[in-house]
Amino acid sequence: MENIGDLLNDSERFKKPSSDSDNVNVRKIDDEYAEGRADYLVFKLQAPGSRKYFLKVSYKLPDGTVDRLIATAIEKGRSPLKLFIHLAEREMRRLNGRK
């Protein structure tokens, strides 16, 4: 049985491989998928002029979050597009560590 000092001093054993997955804010998705997701948002919110913004949202927010925001915006918003943008901005700020 190894003692705790030997285990802790064995730095190779506890080295964590560096990767982009260490950063929870890094989200890699396919460009084609993001384009399709942006088109879906244009359709759901009837806002073709906001496609560029929806593309940004598609890259930055997880699908589940986007789906939740769409549902909330459509259900509770007098202006679903405006509410969606407000909620999406808040989520993106939260993910970046800002309030």
How far apart, in whole angstroms, are the C-alpha atoms of residue 45 and residue 40? Answer: 9
**pTM, to two decimals:** 0.70
Average pLDDT over residues 69-79: 95
Nearest Cα to Cα of residue 70 among 31, 59, 57: 57
Residue-wise pLDDT tens digits, 14-68:
444 444 444 455 557 889 999 999 999 999 999 999 999 999 999 999 999 999 9
Label residue 96 by pLDDT band (50, 70, 90). confident
Distance of CA 99 to the CA centre of its chain: 16
Structure-model confidence comparison of residues 91 and 13, the more confident one: 91
